[in-house]
Homo-oligomer: A and B are copies of this chain.
């Protein structure tokens, strides 16, 4: 099997499906998820991919994993005052200035800008995407 990930990578697709089961109650709070070895069969993915999908859910705070025991769904603290803050996983890339950005920075359209992107999640659901544009740093 090649490694095509045109749209979303497989671990994200798998993570979304597992999250759906948890939020819909198919996997009730506190219950154990199927073992990684079971999930590899079900999703026909390698264990590494399964583990990465679970890692997404764990960082989102809706599952917890114990060595030797398994991964179980977390009791949802919905409605409570506690709302988990976002995890800042920042990714950067170079982009070209669109007309709006060019006007703001007073540069030509197409000038290189640095874009920094973060995904804001609350309780595992994506709330917003923040993109910050700056002029590329000059000195170092």
- Indicate with 1 or 0, residue by residue over A103-134, a CB within 8 angstroms of chain B CB atoms: 11110000000001111000000111111111
Task: Known contacts A16-B106, A104-B126; decide if A65 and B78 are in contact (CB<8 Å).
Answer: no
List B contacts of A87 (CB < 8 A).
Answer: 59
Tell whether A89 is near chain B: CB-to-CB under 8 Å: yes
List B contacts of A65 (CB < 8 A).
Answer: 91-92
Contact across chains for B90 and A75 when beta carbons are under 8 A apart: yes
- Indicate with 1 or 0, residue by residue over A23-63, a CB within 8 angstroms of chain B CB atoms: 00000101100000000000000000000000000110100
List B contacts of A129 (CB < 8 A).
Answer: 101, 104-105, 132-134
With beta carbons under 8 angstroms apart, the residue of B16, B66, B92, B126 that contacts A75 is B92
Looking at A8, A81, A117, A129, the one whose CB has the most chain B CB atoms below 10 A away is A129
Closest 3 CB pairs of A and B: A129-B133, A64-B90, A131-B131
